[in-house]
Amino acid sequence: MSTVQTSSDAPGREERVHLQTYARQPITLISGHGCWVTDDAGREYLDLVAGIAVNVLGHSHPAVAEAVARQAATLVQVSNLYYTLPQLELAEELVSRSPFDRAFFTNSGTEANEAALKLARRHGGERGAHEVVSLVGSFHGRTFGSLAATGQPTYQAPFAPLPPGFRHVTPNDVDQLDATVTDATCAVLLEPIMGEGGVHPLTDEFLIAARAACDRVGALLILDEIQTGVGRTGTFFAFEQTPIVPDAVTLAKGLAGGIPIGALLVRERAAAFKIGDHGTTLGGNPVSCAAGLATLHVIDTDDLMANARARGAQLVEALAKLLADGVLAEVRGRGLMLGLETAKPIARAAVAVARDHHGLLINATGDSTIRLVPPLTIGADEVDLAVERLEAALADAGSAT
Ligand SMILES: Cc1ncc(COP(=O)(O)O)c(C=O)c1O
C-alpha cells in the first residue's frame, strides 16, 4: 500500500505558479472515499462540502470511476460535429425525467447560464426584448454574462463595464419584480434557493409572481438549479417542491458526479436556438456524459433523493438543540442543502476549527452563515458524527470570540 506523501509546501508552490485568485483552505487533499477525504498528512475529514455541492455520490464512487474508465478507453472526444451516444442518452434521460424537451451540454455551470442567457436573448429578440431580471444577492457564475446576472457588486465591480441589459430586484419582493418585468424583459433568471448568497429559499408567492410576470410579457422563466438540482434538495429539481414550472433550467455541479459538465434544459416553446447559434467544442463530450448517466443511475437505484430528504430532516432535527441553546439563530434550506445562521459571527472561525481540530469540512458563505451540502449518500451514523463535530467546533469558535 502506498504511503501518503506530505506535501505541506503546496501553498508556497501554488503561490509561485498559480494566479492568486483563490483563498484556499490550508490543506492539500489527496484522496476521497464516500463522505471522507484524506489530506497529504494522512488526516481524514468528514466532508460536508462535497466539492461545493458537487459530489452527489460521494468521492470516488465506483460507478463513476468505472463509467469514466470504460468511456475513456472507448472514445473521449470528437466534438459536436458528430453524434455520440452518451450525449444522446444523457439528453434522453434528462428529458424523460423532467418537463423539458431539449438539452444543451456545457462544461460548467457558468457556461450553462451563458447558454440560457443567449437563448433568452434569441427568444426575446423576436419581439425586441433583451433585458434579464435577476436577484440582488444571487450567484450565477464568473463569465461576463453570468457575472452581469449575478447580483453581487463585489464580484462585478472590478470588471466593469459588464454587458448591458441586466436588472436586479430584491428577493421575494413581488411588487419590485412586477414593476421591473416589462415588455423589454426577455427572461427572469432565479435560483430557487440562493446558494452562494447564503442558502435563502425563494417564497412560493414570489415564484408564482415570477411565472405570472413572465407570462404577462412573453419572457422566459429560467431557474438556475446548478446548485439545487440533481437531487440535492430531495427532488431532482428544487422547483418540483414549488407550485411553478419554469421554461428552462440550468444544471451543472453534481450532474456527472464530479466530472465537469453543465446543461441547459428547455421546453419546446423556449427552444429558440437555430443551427449555428451556439456551440462548444468539449461540452457534452462522451466521458462527461457517461459519468452523468452513471450518476443518474445510482441516484435512482440507491434512492438517493429519499436519502437526501431523510438525512436532511435528521440534520434539521439534530440542529434544533443548537437553535434552542442560542448557538444558531436559524436553520434553513431543503434536503441536503442547509444554511445555518450562527447567533454570533463565528462561521469562518468554525470552518477553521472544524477542519483543524475536529476532522470536519464545512463551508461559510458569510461571517454568520455555514453551508452544509454533503454527498447525497451520507449515512445516518455519519450525520450523527457530523453534528457532534459541528457542535464541538461551534463551541470552540464561540468561546474564542
Ligand atoms: C447557482 C449557481 N449558478 C452558477 C454557478 C457557477 O457554476 P460553475 O462554477 O460551474 O461555473 C454556481 C457555482 O457555485 C452556482 O452555485
CA 99 / ligand 1 centre spacing (Å): 22
Q: Which tens digits make up the pLDDT trace of 301-318? A: 999 999 999 999 999 999
CA torsion through residues 392, 22, 109, 70, sign: negative
270 pLDDT more than 90: yes
> Burial level of 348, CB count in 10 A (0-12/13-18/19+)?
middle
Q: Which tens digits make up the pLDDT trace of 126-153? A: 899 999 999 999 999 999 999 999 999 9
139 lines ligand 1 (CB under 6 A): yes
State residue 400's pLDDT score. Answer: 83
Please compute the mean of the pLDDT values over residues 244-262 and round it to a whole number: 98
Q: Using CA atoms, how far apart are residues 184 and 295, in angstroms rounded to an integer?
A: 40
Reported as type and span, the H/E element at residue 330 is strand 328-334
Average pLDDT value for the chain: 97
Q: Which tens digits make up the pLDDT trace of 329-342? A: 999 999 999 999 99
What strand order describes the sheet that includes 360-361? 29-33, 36-39, 44-47, 360-361
Q: Which residues are bridge partners to 369 per DSSP?
A: 341, 366
Report the amino acid identity of residue 242: T
Q: Which tens digits make up the pLDDT trace of 278-299? A: 999 999 999 999 999 999 999 9
Contacts of 325 (CB under 8 A, 6+ apart): none
State residue 6's pLDDT score. Answer: 52
Which ligand 1 atom lies nearest to the CA of residue 143?
A: 11
Q: Which tens digits make up the pLDDT trace of 77-130? A: 999 999 999 999 999 999 999 999 999 999 999 999 999 999 999 999 989 999
Q: Which residues are bridge partners to 246 per DSSP?
A: none
Listed in order, strand segments (DSSP E) in 205-300 are 220-224, 248-251, 262-266
CA 233 / ligand 1 centre spacing (Å): 16
376 pLDDT more than 90: yes
Q: Which tens digits make up the pLDDT trace of 25-52? A: 999 999 999 999 999 999 999 999 999 9
224 lines ligand 1 (CB under 6 A): yes
Residue in the block written with cell 434528462: 94
Contacts of 380 (CB under 8 A, 6+ apart): 310, 311, 314
Q: Which tens digits make up the pLDDT trace of 170-191? A: 999 999 999 999 999 999 999 9
Domains of the chain are 10-60+303-400 (3.90.1150.10), 75-301 (3.40.640.10)
Integer Rg of the chain from CA: 21
Q: Using CA atoms, how far apart are residues 10 and 60, in angstroms rounded to an integer?
A: 23
Q: Using CA atoms, how far apart are residues 12 and 14, in angstroms rounded to an integer?
A: 5
Report the amino acid identity of residue 285: N
Burial annotation 274-284 (CB, 10 A radius, 16+ → b, else e): eeeebebebbb
Please compute the mean of the pLDDT values over residues 331-356 and round it to a whole number: 98
Pocket test for ligand 1, best of 49, 105, 140, 190 (most atoms within 8 A of CB): 140
Using pLDDT thresholds of 50, 70 and 90, give the confidence band for residue 4. very low
State residue 7's pLDDT score. Answer: 61
Helix-helix angle 380-400:304-324, to 10 degrees: 30
